[in-house]
Amino acid sequence: MNSKIILIAACSAALLVSCNKGGDTTPQSLPTPAQDKAACTITPKSSDAPEIKVNGKTLYLNKVVFLRSGRYSIETVVERKIVPNSTKADSPTNHIVFTGTYTENNGVYTLSGDISTTMTVNASAGTIQSDILTATVQVIVIPGNVDPGTLEDLLYRSWTIKTFSMNVNNGAIEMSWDFTDSKNVSIVAAYLKKKEIKIDVAKFSKYDVKEISFGKDNVTVSFADNSVSDFSGTFSVSGTVAKALFNYNLSDVLPEDNPFINAQASGYVSFQDNDIVMSMVVSTSELQGTVQLTLKAAN
């Protein structure tokens, strides 16, 4: 079983059934993220992806996303499906994602985490410069800030997993978990194994989710184990704070016919105090039913 497929099964835990448990659906106090004005999505203008050097290896830059929460996502492409000796090599596709935190000052983004560097972004000129890029790159810069008080303003930030519940296979698997640290996916994987679901628990345990970050047209999932590639995909939301519809697309990293989670799907998101509840119907070869995830705002 490919470990990335297993990861998304749980990560659908990170994106997933239609449910609103009631209670106060108006967030009590969610301040505007510190990097709201610096948030943007950067893509190369040329279809010939520019080279980017990471950890001594030459990759190809696909996209840079600076999120409002001060997190970044850098999506790169490799020529082969597996890159030997890479610190982020366990991926069934040619996409490797690097994540971390950043601060911004006058267009200079200082990154730490998977990649430590600075990037100078000139939105008006449409350029990005960095010592990890082999040349100045012509880019398209799309701002990522949103209007205060909107659904997007409340949702587009970073979150940690608080609770996860599932009711699948006609009630044969019905369970809820409360998480207090970064151990989450591994716990669910061990339980599913006991329920005779085909899961490689050793591989799955690498995919404990550290944070889930939402931004304009983007969702980024970072993992506690740095030996596996993080995840970045497309995400959109519409509706009201009480209940909104979300859509995600994992097609670049996950085949449509995988046995655990659909590559493209929709679900519902609602607020409970300052938490969000994401829920979705699951219908795969192994699991059929519903799952629900409660997320808590990260610092």
Q: What is the separation of C-alpha 21 from the centre of its chain, rounded to a whole number of angstroms?
A: 25
- 68, 85, 109, 289 from 101: Cα distances, Å: 11, 24, 10, 36
Dist CA 93 CA 64 (whole Å): 18
Report the range of poorest mean pLDDT among 112-126, 156-170, 194-208, 222-236: 194-208
pLDDT tens figures, 75-110: 998 864 444 554 444 444 578 899 999 999 999 999
CATH numbers and ranges of domains, the chain: 3-29+150-297 (2.40.128.280), 36-143 (2.40.128)
Burial 134-154 (b: 16+ CB within 10 A, else e): eeebebebeebbbeeeebbbb
pLDDT for 52 equals 96
pLDDT at 194 over 80: yes
Say what the pTM is.
Answer: 0.86
Dist CA 220 CA 74 (whole Å): 10
User: Residues 228-240: pLDDT tens digits?
Assistant: 888 888 999 999 8
Indicate whether 244 pLDDT > 60: yes
H or E element in which residue 110 lies: strand 108-113
